[in-house]
Structure 1
């Protein structure tokens, strides 16, 4: 969350968007809360910053959104590597390469004085899953460093309330960090740590791509269909998408914890230039490359130096654009068009059409192993 412009108002439970049940529970949790600032987005979830005796906190409230459940699960199950992990300079060292350092073992002393690696981050409930070859084979973890994500304090699924600590800083969008390769090295490091979070189901037996294929076809039907009164994207682009989807064959993929909206508007940059990560309402187990799609259609297009910087921080080179990777490009393109149309967000709907145009153009090219644009 960005720093507010003013000192804030009264108690958070006085906000008119909260239900009676939410107000009562919030007052029970934080009876001395004051200084409320509204950070809500236009669509669906109330987001408030407020002051409590134990610090500055963030409240998210919604009685209908599944995003709060996703965010709570991410905090409880997947974010341990991002708590107390130093971002460093985003560069791996030869000491970690090819050594087979699994859970419970430390790599050689070449890591440097005072910065030994840990196979189990502080606060983790158990050992991490060993990163597979498709993930981050030479990821480093350090003993000390700032938390890169806020802590979850309270969550009530029935009331639709979630409270975290406030992560100080400003949203990276609109700051120099949004176009700074050094910031993207940090972002790559954060993404690597997130993707190495604990998971008990690293292989999905084809279910992920089968589900995504079904979603793509549903979004495509709605983009073409009579309920809209008109096609939501150019007919040739929709036809090309359908032809490609009709030939797609789902295959097993490796799943990792993903953010789901990984871009500068969810990166926090503090006064020292260190990045943090917020807003896990779209977090889910997905293939690693799904966290790159939004960057590939925005920041990476604007500056070709940013993608190599992010992958330097991530600790591996970018992989080829496999059919499954293109499936996610189509899914996010079509989903953006349909969702934005439903919400009445014409600007974002047009952005989705541009995403779709780049994707179908790339799919028609023999260079489909390259990112769009």
Structure 2
């Protein structure tokens, strides 16, 4: 007998979804095709849901479960994120309410000021839930960036050498960290033509707030004047500190360029290389101030 998921999930994952909904029907496979993550639009009678699942070695689903279990509730209450209906961490499986809308990326809304203003407001809601001072974040983030460089990649050898030099010279300090999305950009925004909504919290974690600005800063904000200002107006302030913004951007760039190469996403890899180029345009400013000035 043919399975409802057409073999996209593991047997155990598919059976669990069947036990939840009785007669699930696969409407569409919305997966990116990256890694082994599956995103399925499923219907059971008049109920539409999103089933998201991955294999046992995938760490992104666990991060997303953490985000939706504890940190997305204000967004859900505002209609800005999907309600988590069910999750099984040991099976790397989540079930969400289905959200109407289409991805903002590659549509006219990608460079729309109101879209960016809404995105800024949504992000501020997420960030504002908690603030901590982390004495170890910077050292760990730099070590992780260096570990990415130790893997196979297509970063120019001279560029790699300069990145390693700057990472080695940078002196870590305590940083204020907040709950972050980790991949805040139009590929993770939905819009129904009016309201913007957030999806894919697979890179959720506590980081400096400014790290959620990195991808926008080297993409959309450079394509159209006014988008950055609109976003910041929605967000309410600018959390970037020029003393550390370049190093934040540099570490994000390394991870993006190497990870995207390893999974074969050439478009995202190109984004990582653009981030590297921008981060290397000028030296980070001398370190000064304490934790409160470093967000």
TM-score greater than 0.5 by the shorter chain: yes
Of the three residues 301, 312, 319, the one matched with 2:222 is 301
Q: Which has the larger radius of gyration?
A: 1
Higher helix share: 2
C-alpha distance 215-159 of structure 1, shift in aligned 2 (>3 A): same
Find the counterpart in structure 2 of residue 348 from structure 1. 268
Question: Could you tell which deviates more after superposition, 40-49 or 314-323?
Answer: 314-323
1:1-373 alignment runs, 5 A limit: 13-43=4-34, 44-53=36-45, 55-64=47-56, 65-85=58-78, 147-197=79-129, 199=130, 202-204=132-134, 206-222=135-151, 228=152, 232-271=154-193, 273-317=194-238, 319-323=240-244, 325-363=245-283
Partner Cα separation in structure 2 for residue 326 and residue 365 of structure 1: 9
How many Å apart are 1:54 and its aligned residue? 6.0
Runs of 4 or more above 4 Å deviation: none
Partners of 2:247 and 2:284 within 8 A in 1? no
Partners of 2:246 and 2:284 within 8 A in 1? no
Residue ranges of structure 2 left out of the alignment (5+ in a row): 287-295
How many Å apart are 1:35 and its aligned residue? 4.5
Partners of 2:54 and 2:93 within 8 A in 1? yes
Higher strand share: 2
Partners of 1:212 and 1:327 within 8 A in 2? no
SS of 2:241 mapped into structure 1: coil
C-alpha distance 322-29 of structure 1, shift in aligned 2 (>3 A): same
Superposition TM-score, scaled by structure 2 size = 0.89
Superposition TM-score, scaled by structure 1 size = 0.71
Partners of 1:185 and 1:312 within 8 A in 2? yes
Residue ranges of structure 1 left out of the alignment (5+ in a row): 1-10, 86-146, 223-227, 367-373
SS of 2:197 mapped into structure 1: strand
Q: Deviations over 1:250-290 (max 9, x none)?
A: 1111111111111111111114x111111111111111001
How many Å apart are 1:160 and its aligned residue? 2.0
SS of 1:47 mapped into structure 2: strand
Number of residues of Structure 1 aligned to a counterpart in Structure 2: 283
SS of 1:57 mapped into structure 2: strand
How many Å apart are 1:57 and its aligned residue? 0.3
Partners of 1:37 and 1:50 within 8 A in 2? yes
Q: Deviations over 1:316-358 (max 9, x none)?
A: 14533222x3222112211122212222333433332222122
Find the counterpart in structure 2 of residue 111 from structure 1. none
